[in-house]
Amino acid sequence: MIHGPFAIALARAVHDSRPDDVPLLMAGALRAGEPWKEVCAEVLRTSGQCVDFTGGRNIHGVLSLIAAARLGQQVPAEQALLPIGQAVAYVAGQPKWKQPPRWVEAGTKDDAHRDEFDLATAIAINAAREDPALVEEAVRALVHQASHFGGNWGHALIFATMTYDAGAMFGWEVVAPLFAVAVEHIIPSDRDEAAHEAAWTRFEKGHLDFSAIAKAPPSRKGEEEGESLRRAMRRATLEEAATTVGSALERGVSVEVLTDALALAGADKMMRTSYSMSAAHSLTFAHAVRRAIAIQRDGCTIGAIAGAAAFMGSQVEVYDRRAEGSRAGKSQTPVPSPETFERLLREGPVADAVEGAQAVAQAGRTREPAYLAAVVRAASTDDLILSNGINLKHAEAALSEEAAVHGGDKSTFLMAVAKNICASERGADLHDKLLHAAAGRVKVQRVEGALHR
């Protein structure tokens, strides 16, 4: 696939760690009409090959880019500039490898993991060119494997499912390096099977037929239990989460009802905790479980429902009536205009932003273009380095869950987004540079200079 000159230049800026060039190049791509999907694909491919993923939180750069690309599909091109530009600049600022990773240069014969690295090399370098469908199968296997791990805020499953979604959006050859990164860095660092083992111990006692459960068609059986499951999952310990999910499956509650309850519990948890990266992962982890089940529906991905619930239960709750919002009855707050809603999301106070979100959601206006654009802009204006791009990821997850959940109080998703956006770190420097460049207040020569660096 041949991409435009600005997409290639942005990928080169990421590779060479030149985040200061990103605003000018993004403005040039917008003016040249280069599709953001192509820009994101080129940058993502390069990111998987050059970002040093040994640094734990560096995975957030590519996750933010994937989330920004998905959000960018829902708004006009000029409005997608901000989330995508912020994410590209974030990735460009991440540490790069000083030496090639082992998946690029296969390990020595005495390397205990040589087989894994050789497989990653084959997928990332050879098979991606010869048979992209093989990459899809490999990433499906990665999703299955990642569903075992409930540690480290669910990063393994979030990374695996977002890699799959990126492959479906951009092409499997684009995400092949991310598969290799997961094999070498993400899976080993997140290898915590405590939740998986606790869940399976409980499940095995119930003699559940996961083959039959996995093959069962979608249903709403057990929907009347949704609210009680939602409450139970939000505060569960490992053993309680395993018992809750296992018992529900034994009673015939459908996987769809369980994932709805998990997603609503995740949004509840975001509203009931002080703002932090881990609190915000409650919903992104829950969304990753839904995606994992959709991608590779089997006993392990279904069991991940318990792992995500146990993670939520480990987060300390802080009661704040107004920040949580009142879900009893209709909102008494007038629906704010899109402009006012965006200001509330960016400036707060938190409680006012949450109540405004409740009013917007209960009025059924969440997906109106003006309100959707307000959410995307607000989620894009924080300092991604300070927040690790979490607002982009949890906004994308919340909007996806709001569309996917069958019943329940969907207003909770937009309320959770409002609370976490409003309470996060802020940094307008790059935001202002992107808007300044896009407005045409820079000389063409400067854009051309950045393009040819």
255-293 tens-digit pLDDT: 999 999 999 999 988 888 776 666 668 899 999 999 999
- Domain end, chosen from 151, 167, 189, is at 189
More confident residue, 357 or 318: 357
- pLDDT, one tens digit per residue, over 141-195 is 889 988 887 666 788 899 999 999 999 999 988 888 888 888 877 877 777 777 6
- pLDDT for position 109: 47
Q: Is 85 domain-assigned? A: yes
pLDDT at 446 over 90: no
Letter for the amino acid at 407? G
Residues 261 and 205 grouped into a single domain:
yes
- Same domain membership, residue 43 and residue 90: yes
pLDDT digits (tens, 9 = 90+) for 213-229: 888 898 999 999 999 99
Residue 440 confidence (pLDDT): 73
Q: What is the pLDDT of residues 61-104, one digit of tens each?
A: 889 999 999 999 999 999 999 999 999 998 998 888 876 666 55
Residues 130 and 93 occupy one common structural domain: no
Q: What is the pLDDT of residue 204?
A: 64
Q: Are residues 200 and 296 in the same domain?
A: yes
Mention every residue, 6+ apart, whose C-beta is less than 8 A from residue 439.
none
Residues 239 and 180 in one domain: no
Q: Are residues 89 and 123 in the same domain?
A: no
> Does residue 296 fall inside a structural domain?
yes
**Average pLDDT of the chain, as a whole number:** 83
Backbone angles phi, psi at 2, to 5 degrees: -100, 120
> Which domain covers residue 299, as residue numbers?
194-313
Q: Which amino acid is at 258?
A: L
The pLDDT of 327-341, averaged and rounded, is 85
Question: What whole-number distance in Å separates Cα of residue 294 and Cα of residue 63?
Answer: 19
Pair 74, 14 in one domain: yes
Tell the burial category of 252 from Cβ atoms under 10 Å away from its Cβ (0-12, 13-18, 19+): exposed
Lowest-confidence pick of 50-64, 219-233, 290-304, 431-445: 431-445
- Residue from 149, 308, 298 nearest 209 by CA: 298
From 246, 253, 263, select the one nearest 306 (Cα to Cα): 246
- For residues 289 and 392, membership in a common domain is answered with no
The number of distinct structural domains making up the chain is 4
Does the structure show a pLDDT above 80 at 408? Answer: no
Average pLDDT rounded to a whole number, residues 418-422:
87
Residue 404 lies in a domain: yes
Say what the pLDDT of residue 97 is. 82
* Region of residue 101 (left: phi > 0; alpha: psi -120 to 50; beta: else): beta
The whole model's pTM is what?
Answer: 0.89
12 and 82 co-located in one domain: yes
Question: Which of 135 and 265 is assigned the larger pLDDT?
Answer: 265
Closest CA to 286 of 406, 192, 161: 161
Quick one: 333 and 390 in the same domain?
yes
For residue range 358-399, list pLDDT tens digits in order.
999 999 999 999 999 999 999 887 666 666 777 888 899 999
Q: Are residues 91 and 22 in the same domain?
A: yes
Token pair 């792992």 in the structure block, residue: 307
Residue 108 lies inside a defined structural domain of this protein:
no
Residue 107 has pLDDT above 50, yes or no: no
The two tokens of residue 136 are: 């899809």
